[in-house]
Amino acid sequence: MMSAENSRKCPSCGAAAAAMIVKCPYCGHEYGGTGASDGVTAFFERLDALDQELFEAEAAKGPKGPLGAVLAETVKQIAGPSLGDKRKLEMIQNFPIPNSREDITEFVILASSRLKAVPGLFSMASHSEIRDAERYNEAWNAKIKQAYAKARIVFASDPVEMRKIDQMLKDLNVTPGKTASVPKQLLVLLAIGAVAAIVLVLALVFG
């Protein structure tokens, strides 16, 4: 027998069913949202607002110059993600996956669009930019994996909709939980390049 907190009553036929399902198994009535603590659209709007805030704060600092850029890159490699990046990563990690059909689908689409292409060997990206792309991919992939697991629960009685989720992820070329990593050879080359740049700058300044 289901407990009160794990069940709901269908407003159409009055039958009791599990709280997380999206369609009554007896009459086919579709339930609305199931009380997610935050809206999907509002979450992505807040994330974009934070992105803009951090971009404007960085732009206000003005150009760093060659020496400043090298030193900033070195500091970031040692210190890891900035406070702004940590705020964004925490927002992603702490967002509760919603329960309704529409919200899960919307979240998967929007989250998949935030996956970043990891720069290749001959790109102009710095070591820290590549690591940032990896960190965000890891965070988004973890949430997509959670959303997929939730979908398998709420769509348990609706295999047609579950197949749509599977097809959508396939079309987006997303495998839940799979994260592309940067080749170790690339990381070694970038580290050597960063050290060489620092040595060159110091030689020009003190030579």
Task: Indicate if 82 and 158 belong to the same structural domain.
Answer: yes
Judgement on whether residues 145 and 104 belong to the same structural domain of the protein: yes
Q: Are 130 and 186 in contact (CB under 8 A)?
A: yes
Residues 17 and 43 in one domain: no
What pLDDT sits at residue 63?
A: 60
Confidence at residue 180, expressed as pLDDT on a 0 to 100 scale: 45
Number of compact structural domains in the chain: 2
Q: Are residues 98 and 69 in the same domain?
A: yes
Would you say the pTM of this structure is higher than 0.75? Answer: no
Q: Are 3 and 101 members of one domain?
A: no
pLDDT at 171: 80
- Assess whether 92 and 149 both reside in one domain: yes
Both 185 and 167 in one domain: the answer is yes
**Chain centre to alpha carbon of residue 172:** 15
Residues 4 and 44 in one domain: no
User: Domain span at residue 25?
Assistant: 1-31
Question: How high is the pLDDT of residue 80?
Answer: 72
Non-local (6+) Cβ contacts of 74 within 8 A are: 194, 198
Instruction: Tell me what pLDDT residue 35 has.
Output: 45
pLDDT of residue 181: 46
Nearest to 34 by CA among 91, 92, 96: 96
Query: What are the beta bridge partners of residue 7?
Result: 18
Distances (CA, A) of 156 to 77, 106, 153, 167, 176: 45, 19, 5, 16, 18
In this prediction, residue 162 carries a pLDDT of 86
pLDDT at 46: 93
Distance, in Å, from the CA atom of 99 to the CA atom of 34, rounded to the nearest integer, reads 6
Indicate whether 60 and 137 sit together in one domain.
yes
The tens digit of pLDDT for each residue in 50-109 reads 999 988 887 777 666 666 666 666 766 676 778 888 999 999 999 999 888 889 989 998
**pLDDT < 50 regions, the chain:** 1-5, 33-37, 179-189
Name the nearest CA neighbour of 54 among 91, 88, 93.
88
